[in-house]
Amino acid sequence: MLEVGTKAPEFTLMDQNGTPVSLSDFLGKKVVLYFYPKDSTPGCTRQACAFAEHYDSFARREVAVIGISKDSVGSHLKFAEKYHLPFVLLSDPEHQVIEAYGAWQEKKLYGKVSMGTVRCTYLIDTRGCIEAVMPKVKPDTNAADILAYLGAQA
C-alpha cells in the first residue's frame, strides 16, 4: 500500500463509456479512489451502491468518486447502468494501476492461493497526494467511513 503524503501515481484508464480518464483531470478536487475485485458480485455491488447512495454528499464536498477493477469497459457499463451508479468506473484489465497502488495482492479462498485485487480505498488530496489509506475496507461501510473522515477534517 502507498503511504500518506506520497504523490499518487498518475494514470489514464478507460471509463465505463470508453472515455479516457486521468487522475490529473481531478487536480484541485479531492478524489476517493477505491479498488474492488469484480463487478456485480455481492460485496462489490453493496460497496458501489453505498457510494451511489452517498454520492450527493461527496459531490457537495467537491469530492470525486472513482472505482477501479480489472473488469472490461463493457462490464463496467452494464454494472453502472444496472445499479444507477453516478460515478466513474475505470477498467484496468492489465492491473497496472491496481499494482501501482498496492491493491494487487495474494489472496486465499478455500485454501487456494491466487493473486487478485484486494478491496482498499485511498483519499487523494487536491494536490494529487495521498491523504488517507484505508486497507481492507468493508463494502457496506466504506463510503460512510470516508464521509465521517471528511467531516472530521472540516
By annotation, the residues acting in catalysis are: 44
Q: Give the gyration radius of the chain's Cα atoms.
A: 14
What is 14-76 written as a DSSP string?
EETTS-EEEGGGGTTSEEEEEE-S-TTSHHHHHHHHHHHHTHHHHHHTTEEEEEEESS-HHHH
Quote the CA–CA distance of 154 and 57 in Å, as a whole number.
Answer: 14
Q: Would you give the distance in Å from CA 31 to the centre of its chain?
A: 9
8-state DSSP, 142: H
Helix (H, G, I), strand (E, B) or coil at 92: coil
